Structure 1
């Protein structure tokens, strides 16, 4: 019988494109000073946990965040980062780098919805619907939809669980906001697990085999087991 795997999922710290409210999928930008500081605080909250493995996406902002977190860890064994492109953020296609409000309102309007802000769009439509709007509106047809994103996230989780090889483990995964949203949506429909995933927040899933329960969602303060 397989043992449980506790997966600590952290969104990267604030980047400059986050600060400027720009779409940042496969595009990348470094952490702001505030982003670094919050990542360090998250590392302090996780400093008592002896991680067996550490995963990131292959984008610099998750790697930088993971390195800052591990520098705070009290356990001396150095851990190599496993960088998996399957955990890369959703690709926004030709909309990469554009202002979030402008593009999200624009793609919603093409489907007959009129909103003043991107927040209003997300209040009325799921992430899957918004990604579908963007894919249909992308003139280059390169933007990913939710099914494409979920398929590669599933591949990443399968690889992670294969690496653990049925052993009990504590695993750190530093990834991206939409990826975390999709990952949690796979394992829960609880309304309290909805909403924006905050920079450097921690969510915790406990796996038994390929099934998982969400133990913590989007936490920026308080103790973590």
Structure 2
């Protein structure tokens, strides 16, 4: 199995540094252009299965990259991390005030306690673990692509690398329309390429 994990293209909330979480924000024009560029990078690749988070920013990215007629399977397990009452808030408000509920999410994740309506980091790591193990079981000899979100991807990468929550800061920045590649080695998920920023010219290994 080869699994390509794609972060969605840019939205207006990305542009204005707003925390999206599970709010259904669409791609903006730049996000559509990013997806079109990724489509060119992946041109000629044949994917046996295509998954997407149900949120429109992922579905639209998938449709641009794989085609509107592609069979895209919506999978809620790869939806973005829920941030509850703080979805829609500006990052700056949360990262300069040490008393803010989400300050620890950005700077002290071991001690992060999710606010009302939010998920814990452990919750999302568990979702990522379930999804990756499901991919191993269902797609042994297939090439799969999944369109998902930044926080979910960080948890999936951390799980694949065996990183603790404290070590998650070692993960590269996950830019819009970046691609992470994982593969099956002896029935285990192995990370091959991490958060390849194809939009800014980084090279993706294609087979």
Q: Per the shorter chain, which TM-score range?
A: 0.7 to 0.9
Matched, 1:224 2:205: yes
Partners of 1:163 and 1:153 in 2: CA distance: 15
Which structure is richer in relative contact order (CA contacts within 8 A, separation 6 or more)?
1
Partners of 1:86 and 1:191 in 2: CA distance: 20
CA contact (8 A) 1:45 1:224 kept: no
Q: 1:210 to 1:180 in 2, by over 3 A?
A: farther
Partners of 2:34 and 2:44 in 1: CA distance: 17
- Superposition deviation, residue 181 in structure 1: 0.6
* TM-score normalised per structure 1: 0.78
Matched, 1:186 2:159: yes
- Superposition deviation, residue 180 in structure 1: 0.6
- Superposition deviation, residue 162 in structure 1: 3.4
CA contact (8 A) 2:32 2:61 kept: yes
- Superposition deviation, residue 90 in structure 1: 0.3
Structure 2: gaps of 5 or more residues: none
- Bigger radius of gyration: 1
Partners of 2:205 and 2:7 in 1: CA distance: 16
Task: List aligned pairs for 1:18-167, cutoff 5 A.
Answer: 18-71=14-67, 79-106=70-97, 108-109=98-99, 122=106, 124-125=107-108, 128-129=109-110, 132-133=112-113, 135=114, 138=115, 141-164=116-139, 166=140
Structure 1: gaps of 5 or more residues: 73-77
Partners of 1:209 and 1:144 in 2: CA distance: 32
- Superposition deviation, residue 86 in structure 1: 0.5
CA contact (8 A) 2:3 2:143 kept: yes
Q: 1:79 to 1:158 in 2, by over 3 A?
A: farther
**Equivalence for 1:75:** none
Instruction: State the Cα deviation string for residues 108-136 of structure 1 (Å, max 9, x = none).
Output: 4358x8xxxx9xx84x54xx447x24x1x
Partners of 1:213 and 1:180 in 2: CA distance: 14
How many correspondences in the alignment? 197
CA contact (8 A) 2:181 2:192 kept: yes
- Superposition deviation, residue 68 in structure 1: 0.6
Q: 1:105 to 1:144 in 2, by over 3 A?
A: farther
Q: 1:102 to 1:162 in 2, by over 3 A?
A: same
* TM-score normalised per structure 2: 0.84
